[in-house]
Amino acid sequence: MAKSILTITLNPTVDKSTVVENIKPEKKLRCEAPKYEPGGGGINVSRGLVRLGLESKALFTSGGRTGKMLEELLVKEKVNPLPAEVAAETRENFIVVDTSHNEQYRFGMPGDAVTPEEAENIFNTISGLNPFPEITVLSGSLPPGIDGSYIKKLVKLLKEKGSLVVADTSGEALAAVLGEGVYLLKPNLGELGELTGKKELDNEAADETAKQLVDQGKAEIVVVSLGPQGAYMVSKDECIHVPAPSVKKLSTVGAGDSMVAGMVSVLANGGSLTEMARMGVACGSAATMATGTGLFTKENAERLYKWLSRA
């Protein structure tokens, strides 16, 4: 039986996407009808897990009309929503694809502040979960009102209750989870560079930096996303490089979250580190084959996983 999974998204969004031909300034652009999809790191991981046949609970802040839309969209995708009500309206993001050049424009809106009382209620809700999740994915950006100290306290709670913490975040939140230590950390090259103060990292430097994080007890496993070059997975005893398969890229939205979903699906089923790395790269690559914010299909992910297993 697979381990129970919780995803946490403190700054979720409804992604509104459309396509148009030949974007030009000061010109009325005739867009296609918009498509609305759930968004935010942990929410996307839960959406990906559904595609892979795994259940999870998705905890997220929800406020106003957009929050209700987000809840309804998740139910339609057969995700188990666990909304934490807040007064502020849930944010929207806007994605436009220019079909004349297949170029994607992504407009990310800021989230409104979470009050101290709301933040405490979220913490208490997580603390009171019964049964408590065996795996917790903490992913995405932080809204105003929630800082690194809150994240560090949350990670400490999760670990004390025996949950394996998987973190995919950046900035202050990334520094906070490293301060407490997690089971699995998934930075990209840019985020890893921020941790070391290096603007640019090559593959060899990324490998060495990931090893340092493991040796320092910041994470038991570090997976560095290399984009079109695949990923490095580093643990105390192993260093695995998985090359990315060559696919026709239509969108990069949700590729990192899809990668996390793939790895968590194998972790939940007791698979090996090599299998985790391969499924992560397979799902991340499959996500780039979808338009808009559609994430990956199970068929594409499984096909790419089989290819990676033979490579």
Q: Write the CB contacts of 273 (distance below 8 Å, at least 6 apart in sequence).
A: 221, 233, 235, 238, 240
Of 15, 112, 168, 257, catalytic: 257
Residues written for the chain: 311
Say how many C-beta atoms besides its own lie within 10 A of residue 199's C-beta.
8
Cα–Cα distance measured from residue 40 to residue 27, given in angstroms and rounded to the nearest whole number: 31
Whether the Cβ atoms of residue 54 and residue 267 lie closer than 8 Å to each other: no
Residue 170, judged by CB atoms within 10 A of its CB (0-12, 13-18, 19+), counts as: middle
Angle, vertex CA 75, rays to CA 265 and CA 150, nearest 5: 65
Sign of torsion, CA 157 236 304 286?
positive
Cα–Cα distance measured from residue 182 to residue 151, given in angstroms and rounded to the nearest whole number: 12
257 tagged catalytic? yes
Whether the Cβ atoms of residue 200 and residue 161 lie closer than 8 Å to each other: no
Structure tokens at 260: 């996390």
Query: What H or E segment, with its residue span, contains residue 74?
Result: helix 64-76
Whether the Cβ atoms of residue 85 and residue 62 lie closer than 8 Å to each other: yes
Specify which residues 234 forms β-bridges with.
222, 239
φ, ψ for residue 178, nearest 5 deg: -70, -35
Annotated catalytic residues are: 257
